[in-house]
Structure 1
């Protein structure tokens, strides 16, 4: 990857994928792949409550700007359903999330690596307007873990190559159209 004039590091919040504590499914190896093979810095944290989520996000958007300014992608890796993410213990709606982020993420891409979280275009548009996000991306359909994770990684790679979100969308659609259609991958800006 060529040196870039802009950087989009990734702040990932991940929930529990299984009720069975012996299972260890995680997005971490995919993030390590990015980290080890590119200039991307990744900050990965887990959370299972609204309080944890709000606290962790607050650090990124209100914390030391020098330390966290490069984290331009906020990645929610959770189960999801109908405009919500499933934290394991409780759910949180896009509407509630927009209150946490209100006018605070103007230069950031918010990516939902979760089923059907961005299935309602009106709610996504409302989220964009309230938060001032640069873009909101994710899935409008139920998705399987491995294919959606692969597409997440491909998307994050394109985000490093192109500054313009329209160009990122165009490149994603030209390279990965079948996977995008199969998974219901959406980009709103």
Structure 2
């Protein structure tokens, strides 16, 4: 079985160069478990981000069909560093028509709090099948645990709604809900987990 591919661009989380926060250990774990293959690149400027997004769209990387944006975020915006950001429209322009059927994950706090219209426009411009991520600020450890399952589902789930199926289950819904997880599909549907009682 061919493992799904994840292409990850990661912003610089902190000005303190001695801190080592990164999503790389999560990707390494998934690769060691033989669940995904990955490409990981650090980006600190819009030009670096643009360069790696253009490389990802090359035919030789076509089986890396999950795009993972690991950065600080605000509604409709990604922070590459504490001083440099790009908005959703900029990323959409870079990926215009290059994401046919791909699944995009915004591992960026609050980035999915953008309007449905803005996210739908992003999907229309890029051609991606879905975009998902968080509508609120999230805890690093909780989101890392969630990402371990999410990236496997996005990379290897046969159906476009595989993440919805997994995180709508009683086992995962509470965590997905507490993180403010949201999925917007190219067909216009939006999904959020239902709060669980207990």
TM-score by length of 2: 0.87
- Whether 2:92 is the aligned partner of 1:107: answer no
Residues 113, 149 of structure 1: 8 Å contact kept: no
1:8 CA displacement = 2.6
Structure 2 runs not aligned, ≥5 long: 186-198
Structure 1 runs not aligned, ≥5 long: none
Q: Structure 1: how far apart are the matches of 2:43 and 2:173?
A: 32
Q: Structure 2: how far apart are the matches of 1:48 and 1:168?
A: 30
- 1:21-100 paired onto structure 2 within 5 Å: 21-61=17-57, 63=58, 65=59, 67-88=60-81, 89-100=83-94
> Aligned residues, how many?
182
For 2:152, the equivalent position in structure 1 comes to: 157
Residues 79, 115 of structure 1: 8 Å contact kept: yes
Q: Structure 2: how far apart are the matches of 1:53 and 1:12?
A: 11
For 1:173, the equivalent position in structure 2 comes to: 168
RMSD, aligned α-carbons: 1.4
Q: Structure 2: how far apart are the matches of 1:117 and 1:53?
A: 17
TM-score by length of 1: 0.91
Q: Structure 2: how far apart are the matches of 1:139 and 1:38?
A: 26
Structure 1 or 2: more helix by fraction: 1
